[in-house]
Chains A and B, each alone.
Chain A
Amino acid sequence: AQTVTQSQPEMSVQEAETVTLSCTYDTSENNYYLFWYKQPPSRQMILVIRQEAYKQQNATENRFSVNFQKAAKSFSLKISDSQLGDTAMYFCAFRPEETSGSRLTFGEGTQLTVNP
């Protein structure tokens, strides 16, 4: 079974600065997908970024980028130029390769607060 761990329950950052959220996971699979989801106070979970394990290049989406270290089973999220609207709970999630089902396994979440 896979596990996902987010060791930072809460983080804060000043507007316009950069923050990195940590995530580690454990799996015996070689091919899988990793995600970061954002859950603002409205509670609706929104996909921020995804990474395929077979890709060595780190995914980027505008101000969001990941540092994927497959050997270390680490998948951190970097948010550059933080904005007030980035305040939310961030969940790291794992999905196995295509032949092993499509359920998402989530971490505990990190509450990020962006301060003005």
Chain B
Amino acid sequence: EPEVTQTPSHQVTQMGQEVILRCVPISNHLYFYWYRQILGQKVEFLVSFYNNEISEKSEIFDDQFSVERPDGSNFTLKIRSTKLEDSAMYFCASTPGQYNEQFFGPGTRLTVL
């Protein structure tokens, strides 16, 4: 069964460094999402992406964040200058249509030291 994959599973970085989290959505899906979950807190929406542009973003998704679909398969989240408070689990999700079920990946645990 097709599934969303994410790499790496765990990323450790120093504060101020740039990180890129990668996701491979399910191949026929058109809408892509990033969510994050700080340890012990709720899963929070970051951004949605369709047709090579952001369709919706939360207040968390500030200028330090960017998303890109550099080719036909990958969907990336870049954090330009990481902060300690960016430490979290980051989940990618995809869906064939905007109002269909969102399929989630296994997540990338980001640790900022």
**Which of A's residues lie within 8 Å of B, judged by CB?**
33, 37, 42-47, 50, 91, 93, 95, 98, 101-109
Identify the closest chain B residue to A97 (Cβ).
B99
CB distance from B102 to the nearest CB of A (A): 7
**Distance of A107 Cα from B33 Cα, bound (Å):** 18
Please list 14 pairs of residues, one from A and one from B, whose beta carbons are closer than 8 Å in the complex, sorted by A's number. Answer: A37-B104, A42-B106, A43-B107, A44-B3, A45-B104, A47-B101, A95-B99, A102-B98, A102-B99, A104-B43, A104-B102, A108-B42, A109-B42, A109-B43
CB distance from A26 to the nearest CB of B (A): 14
Identify the closest chain A residue to B58 (Cβ).
A103
Q: Which residues of A contact B104 (CB under 8 A)?
A: 37, 44-46
Flag whether B68 is at the interface (Cβ < 8 A). Answer: no
On whether the beta carbons of A44 and B101 are closer than 8 Å, the reply is: no
On whether the beta carbons of A44 and B107 are closer than 8 Å, the reply is: yes
On whether the beta carbons of A106 and B56 are closer than 8 Å, the reply is: no
**Distance of A95 Cα from B99 Cα, bound (Å):** 9
On whether A103 and B48 interact (CB within 8 A), knowing A44-B105, A44-B106, A50-B101, the answer reads: yes
**Distance of A4 Cα from B95 Cα, bound (Å):** 22
On whether the beta carbons of A101 and B56 are closer than 8 Å, the reply is: yes
- Give me the 7 closest cross-chain CB pairs, A-B, nearest first: A45-B104, A106-B43, A103-B45, A44-B106, A102-B98, A101-B56, A43-B107
